[in-house]
Structure 1
Amino acid sequence: MKKLSLLLLLILCSCSSTRNNDNAYKEIYLSDFKIKYLEKCLIHGYKDTEAIKKLIADDMNGFAEPILGNAYDLVDSLALQSVRQIEQDSTDREGKVAEGGNGKKVLKHCLCYYESKWLDSIAKANYKIYKKQGDDFYKMLRKK
């Protein structure tokens, strides 16, 4: 009976630590997704200038390993879409605001998108896809 209780306790502890690892990994993934989005938004918004590339290279933000898998192309296209919207907003405001208010507000808009529920929901949905693909991959390996 003692051995059974001990075994059950070990299994329960093992499951909870796995769950904690999954949650920690999810937070890292979501954070990295959003940081990479912000970097790409700034790069596209400032037309890939040397200054912005140096700023981002010096910052060294995000996770040390590339954990986003195939999501890098998605992040890049989302950032490009956002920059196009920023440019359109700038064009639409031309002549409607005071002279000092004209022009693109790249940093402001990229930060607003970074903090948005829109980006959160995309990152979470993409994490689910990423996790499912990983789970399927490991299941396939176990069958061999």
Structure 2
Amino acid sequence: MTTKKILIYTILLLTTLVGLQCKITHYYASQSTAYKAIYIDQFKLTYLRQILKKSYNNSKAIQEILSSDHSGFTEPVLTESDYELIDSLSTAHNAFMKVDSTQGYRRAEGAQGKRPLGFILDKVDSQWLDSLARQRLKLSGVPKSWTD
């Protein structure tokens, strides 16, 4: 009789340990997914801030808006090379908007000039920025400090 009890308790213990192991693995998988989402959001938010500054010539109004905004993650998430890439992208996109504004005479009246908000919205909403952020995350990897 005691052998049966030991066998039953052993089976219950093993089943519990296997179930616990699955929950722990699931927890880390979802935590990693959360970190990826944070990284992508930070990447897009940094791009948005940079392109707003550049497209509006770093005006006082934009500076005030960005300084009063507390969006984003407080700890550094992006790498220095990410910031450099975002800076170069925003510079190139601002140059494109300048060139586009010179073609404004071909558009309907009232649509001439630089149109940054529509351009920025299209870029932030498009999949290329998400894809770029995911590629950058693969290059830099999830830091060990995030998972500790």
- Whether TM exceeds 0.5 here: the answer is yes
Q: Are residues 1:125 and 2:109 paired? A: no
**Runs of 4 or more above 6 Å deviation:** none
Q: Are residues 1:65 and 2:75 paired? A: yes
1:75 match: 86
> How far off is 1:5 after superposition?
2.3
Which of 20, 35, 39 is the equivalent residue of 1:10? 20
Distance (whole Å) between structure 2 residues aligned to residue 75 and residue 85 of structure 1: 15
Distance (whole Å) between structure 2 residues aligned to residue 42 and residue 85 of structure 1: 14
- Structure 2 runs not aligned, ≥5 long: 1-9
> How far off is 1:99 after superposition?
3.7
> How far off is 1:59 after superposition?
1.4
TM-score (norm. length: structure 1): 0.84
2:99 match: 88
Equivalent position SS for 1:95? helix
Larger radius of gyration: 2
1:54 match: 64
Identity of aligned pairs, percent?
33
Write out per-residue CA displacement over residues 89-114 of structure 1, whole angstroms, 9 at most, x where no aligned residue. Answer: 112x2321234211101122111111
Q: Are residues 1:21 and 2:3 paired? A: no
1:141 match: none
Equivalent position SS for 1:63? coil
* Paired residues, number: 135
* CA-atom RMSD in angstroms: 1.9
Distance (whole Å) between structure 1 residues aligned to residue 104 and residue 14 of structure 2: 74
Letter in 2 for 1:16: H
TM-score (norm. length: structure 2): 0.82
Equivalent position SS for 1:100? coil
